[in-house]
Amino acid sequence: MCVRSDSCCTVHLTIENYIADTAVVEELKRLRVGISDFDVKGIIGRGHFGEIQVAHEHGTNNVYALKIIHKSDVLSQQNVSH
């Protein structure tokens, strides 16, 4: 419930908030997991949309199976809803 009367309680983004939010977004992008975080050891399977790779994570050396899917191949299929 809105108790303030200025501009229907919309949030006004100041330049200071924008800069702080941009820094947070950039930090989240940096922390996002990507293929560069892994050392791929080999391919253990192939499918219609991509392949399965076995990989070691750089920091922990944990072993993972990565499913690599090409977005363009998935979207080109007629039975995929958007």
pLDDT of amino acid 71: 83
Q: What is the CATH number of the domain that holds 15?
A: 3.30.200.20
Q: Is residue 58 part of a domain?
A: yes
State the residue range of the domain holding 58.
6-75
β-strand partners of 69: 50
pTM for the predicted model, two decimal places? 0.55
Query: 13 Cβ partners below 8 Å, 6+ apart?
Result: 21
Q: Is residue 60 part of a domain?
A: yes
pLDDT of amino acid 74: 79
Q: Quick: pLDDT tens for 24-72.
A: 888 888 888 888 999 999 999 998 888 999 999 998 989 999 999 888 8
| 6 against 26, higher pLDDT | 26
Number of domains into which the chain is organized: 1
Residue 73's pLDDT band (cuts 50, 70, 90): confident
What is the DSSP code (8-state) at residue 52? E
Q: Is residue 32 part of a domain?
A: yes
